[in-house]
C-alpha cells in the first residue's frame, strides 16, 4: 500500500468514528499495521495531524530536527495527554554527513527547593500516587522547549519560527477531538475536572467530557507558541510564561509545589554520549542515564543473544519465557543501579559488559522461571550499597521517528509522565508530573536509593529512543515507543522481531506483547499471547493478561528505501515522499 493511500484510509477511518466516544479498550489493536515505503524521507508519530506537520516541514526542505520540532508542537495540541512543552524529552540524532550520533537530554529537573521527603506524609510513609501527582508538588522544570531549541541550533535548516506555523494554525482554527483523546478525557474525568483550567478546556459548560469530533480551539496555546517562535526558548523560560508556570505550581490550592522562576531560568539541556552495545553484529544505541531505557534494553538483548532466538517461534512459550527471564534480571539491576548519572555513580560500562551479561544469562533455565531475580554485581560499580527502587512510570508518552532526505535521523521519545500530567494547564499547555518518577521513599531497608529526590536532579526514566547500525556502520533501524516502564519490553521485543525473526515493520509493531516489569509476566489480552498463560505458569511464572497499549514507531532502511509502520494500538500514521 502506498503512503498516501494508507494515510487517506487512516484519516477517513478516524473520521468515520468521530461522532462517538470509543472506550480505550475498544481502540486496542484495530488490525495489523501496514508497512509503507518511501524513497528518501519519512515521519512516524502517534497523531495524523502531527505527522502531516512534520511531512510539510520536510517537503519544504527542513531537516529531521526541524520536522521533530513541528511534530512536537502539534502533539502538544492534539495529543496533550501524552507530551507537550510542559514536559520533557530525550532525542537521539544521527548526522549523516559526519556519521555522528549524539543524545540530547531534555529531562525535567527537580526544583532547587526539593528535599528527599517531597513525597512523604508527615508520618514518614509515602503518599499514594495520585495524591502526589495532582497539583504542583509533582511538577519538574520542563525541558522540551530548551531541547528543541538546542537541537535546532545545531541541526536546523529552516528558520525557527517556520516550524511553529502548523501548530499555531491548528490551535487557532481548531482540530477535531479524536476518539482516543475523547475516551481518555472521559476515563480521567474525576481527576481532570478538579482544576479550573483543565475543567474549562476538556469539558463542556455542563461538565461533560468533550465527545469525539468536537472542534477544539486553543488560542492560549497559539499565543504561547507565537511568543516562543518569535523570541526563542527564552520566551518560555524567562518572563511572563515562566512566572505563570511557577504561580500555578506554588499556588495550587491543595497540593502546592516548589518550582521557582530561578529553576526555569537556569534549566540546561545535557548533551550526552549514547549508550551502545552489540547484538547479532548490529550496534544498538540508546539513551543513557537518567533514562534506564537504553541500558535495560541492551541488557535484555545481551542476555537473549546467548540463545537461538531466530530458531524459535515468535509466538510460542519458549521465546516468551526467554524474553521474560532476561527482562526480570534486567529490571532487578535497574531497580538498584540506574538513576541520574550526574547525581549518583551509575555503572554504565559494567551493566552492559558482555562478560557480566553472560553471567546473568547463565541464570536462565529454559524450563523454569527464576524464583526471585536479584540484582547482579556489575564491574566498575561504586562500592556503595544501594537500596532498591521499583517505582514505575505510568504509560502516557509519545514517540517520533524521522529520517530526512539527507539521511539525518531523529528518534525522540517525549512525555509529561502520567496521562494529562499534573492536571493543570498554563497558557494552553499541560504541566508535567515527572517528579513522581523519583522514588517516593529515599531509603530502602536502611540503604539510600539512587533514584531519590534531590535538588536539580533528573528523575529516572524508561524512555528508549533507539537507532541501530549494521556491520558497516550504516543506520538501519529507528525505533521507540511510549508506555512508561513497559517501553523497555516493547522496544526489546521489537528489536528481536526485526533482527532475529526478520519481520517487516508492520508485522513488528503488530506483534502481541509479552513483557515484564521485573516480577509478573504480562501478556496482551485479546491476542494470541494470552494463550501463553498456562504454559508460562507451568514454568513457575506469575502471569497477568492485560491491555498493553504501546505506540511503537519504526523506520527500517533496506534496499535503498525507507520502510515504516505506526503501532495500530494508537492513532499514528506514516508519511514520506
With respect to residue 151, please indicate whether it lies within any of the assigned structural domains: yes
With respect to residue 160, please indicate whether it lies within any of the assigned structural domains: yes
Total domains in the fold of the chain: 1
With respect to residue 463, please indicate whether it lies within any of the assigned structural domains: yes
Per-residue pLDDT at 20 = 29
Per-residue pLDDT at 12 = 31
**Rounded Cα–Cα distance for residues 287 and 82 (Å):** 19
Q: Are strands 521-524 and 543-546 parallel, antiparallel or unpaired?
A: parallel
With respect to residue 200, please indicate whether it lies within any of the assigned structural domains: yes
With respect to residue 386, please indicate whether it lies within any of the assigned structural domains: no
CATH number where 534 lies: 3.60.20.40
Q: Taking a C-beta distance cutoff of 8 angstroms, is the pair 464, 277 a contact?
A: no
Active site residues: 397
Q: Are strands 425-426 and 543-546 parallel, antiparallel or unpaired?
A: unpaired
The C-alpha cell that represents 57 in the structure block:
516541514
Per-residue pLDDT at 396 = 77
Q: Are strands 282-286 and 466-469 parallel, antiparallel or unpaired?
A: antiparallel
Query: Dihedrals φ, ψ of 276, to 5°?
Result: -130, 145
Per-residue pLDDT at 32 = 86
Per-residue pLDDT at 392 = 60
Maximum pairwise Cα distance, the chain: 62
Per-residue pLDDT at 3 = 39
Q: Where in the sequence is the domain holding 399, given as residue range(s)?
A: 3-271+391-576
Per-residue pLDDT at 16 = 31
**Rounded Cα–Cα distance for residues 124 and 443 (Å):** 11
With respect to residue 396, please indicate whether it lies within any of the assigned structural domains: yes
Per-residue pLDDT at 524 = 98
Per-residue pLDDT at 334 = 97
Give the residues of the chain that fall short of pLDDT 50.
Answer: 1-29
Q: Taking a C-beta distance cutoff of 8 angstroms, is the pair 570, 59 a contact?
A: no
With respect to residue 215, please indicate whether it lies within any of the assigned structural domains: yes
With respect to residue 209, please indicate whether it lies within any of the assigned structural domains: yes
CA atoms within 13 A on the CB side of 394: 19
What is the H or E stretch that residue 15 is in?
helix 3-16
**Rounded Cα–Cα distance for residues 280 and 295 (Å):** 17
297-351 per-position pLDDT tens digit: 999 999 999 999 999 999 999 999 999 999 999 999 999 999 999 999 999 999 9
Amino acid at each position: 500500500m502506498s503512503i498516501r493511500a494508507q494515510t487517506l484510509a487512516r484519516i477517513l477511518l478516524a473520521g468515520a468514528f468521530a461522532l462517538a466516544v470509543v472506550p480505550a479498550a475498544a481502540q486496542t489493536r484495530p488490525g495489523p499495521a501496514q508497512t509503507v515505503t518511501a524513497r528518501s524521507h519519512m515521519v512516524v508519530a502517534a497523531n495524523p495531524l502531527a505527522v502531516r506537520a512534520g511531512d510539510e516541514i520536510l517537503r519544504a526542505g527542513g531537516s529531521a530536527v526541524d520536522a521533530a520540532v513541528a511534530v512536537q508542537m502539534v502533539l502538544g495540541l492534539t495529543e496533550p495527554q501524552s507530551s507537550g512543552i510542559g514536559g520533557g524529552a530525550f532525542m537521539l540524532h544521527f548526522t549523516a554527513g559526519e556519521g555522528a550520533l549524539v543524545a540530547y537530554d531534555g529531562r525535567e529537573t527537580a526544583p532547587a527547593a526539593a528535599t528527599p521527603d517531597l513525597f512523604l506524609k508527615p508520618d514518614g510513609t509515602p503518599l499514594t500516587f495520585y495524591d502526589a501527582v495532582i497539583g504542583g508538588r509533582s511538577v519538574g522544570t520542563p525541558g522540551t522547549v530548551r531541547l528543541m531549541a538546542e537541537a535546532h541550533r545545531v541541526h536546523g535548516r529552516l528558520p525557527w519560527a517556520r516550524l511553529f506555523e502548523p501548530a499555531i494554525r491548528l490551535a487557532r482554527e481548531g482540530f477535531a477531538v479524536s476518539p482516543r483523546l475523547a475516551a481518555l478525557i472521559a476515563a480521567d474525568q474525576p481527576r481532570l475536572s478538579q482544576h479550573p483550567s483543565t475543567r474549562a478546556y476538556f469539558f463542556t459548560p455542563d461538565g461533560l467530557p468533550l465527545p469525539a469530533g468536537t472542534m477544539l480551539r486553543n488560542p492560549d496555546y497559539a499565543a504561547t507558541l507565537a511568543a516562543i517562535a518569535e523570541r526563542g526558548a527564552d520566551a518560555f523560560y524567562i518572563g511572563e510564561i515562566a512566572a505563570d508556570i511557577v504561580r500555578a505550581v506554588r499556588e495550587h490550592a491543595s497540593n502546592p509545589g516548589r518550582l521557582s522562576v530561578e529553576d526555569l531560568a537556569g534549566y540546561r539541556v545535557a548533551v550526552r554520549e549514547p549508550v551502545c552495545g552489540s547484538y547479532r553484529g548490529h550496534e544498538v544505541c540508546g539513551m543513557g542515564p537518567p533514562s534506564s531505557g537504553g541500558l535495560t534494553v541492551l541488557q535484555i538483548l545481551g542476555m537473549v543473544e546467548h540463545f537461538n532466538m531466530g530458531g524459535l517461534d515468535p509466538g510460542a512459550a519458549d521465546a516468551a519465557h526467554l524474553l521474560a527471564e532476561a527482562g526480570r534480571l534486567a529490571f532487578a539491576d535497574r531497580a538498584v543501579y540506574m538513576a541520574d548519572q550526574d547525581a549518583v555513580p551509575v555503572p554504565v560500562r559494567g551493566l552492559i559488559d558482555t562478560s557480566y551479561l553472560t553471567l546473568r544469562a547463565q541464570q536462565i533455565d529454559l524450563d523454569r522461571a527464576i524464583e526471585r531475580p536479584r540484582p547482579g554485581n556489575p564491574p566498575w560499580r561504586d562500592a556503595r550499597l544501594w537500596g532498591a527502587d521499583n517505582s514505575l512510570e505510568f504509560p502516557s508518552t509519545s514517540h517520533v521517528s524521522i529520517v530526512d532526505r539527507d539521511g539525518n535521523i531523529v528518534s525522540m521519545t517525549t512525555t509529561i509522565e502520567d496521562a494529562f500530567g499534573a492536571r493543570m494547564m498554563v497558557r494552553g499547555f499541560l504541566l508535567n508530573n515527572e517528579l513522581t518518577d523519583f522514588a517516593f521513599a529515599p531509603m530502602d531497608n536502611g540503604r539510600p536509593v539512587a533514584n531519590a529526590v534531590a535538588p536539580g536532579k533528573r528523575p529516572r526514566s524508561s524512555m528508549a529512543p533507539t537507532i541501530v547500525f549494521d556491520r558497516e556502520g550504516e543506520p538501519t533501524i529507528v525505533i521507540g515507543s511510549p508506555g512508561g516502564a513497559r517501553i523497555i519490553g516493547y522496544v526489546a521485543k521489537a528489536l528481536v522481531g526485526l533482527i532475529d525473526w526478520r519481520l517487516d515493520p508492520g508485522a513488528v509493531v503488530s506483534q502481541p506483547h509479552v513483557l515484564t516489569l521485573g516480577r509478573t509476566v504480562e501478556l496482551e489480552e485479546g491476542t494470541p499471547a494470552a494463550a501463553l498463560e498456562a504454559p508460562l505458569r507451568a514454568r513457575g511464572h506469575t502471569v497477568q493478561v492485560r491491555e498493553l497499549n504501546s505506540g511503537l514507531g519504526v523506520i527500517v532502511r533496506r534496499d535503498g528505501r525507507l520502510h515504516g509502520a505506526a503501532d495500530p494500538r494508537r492513532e499514528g500514521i506514516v508519511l514520506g515522499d
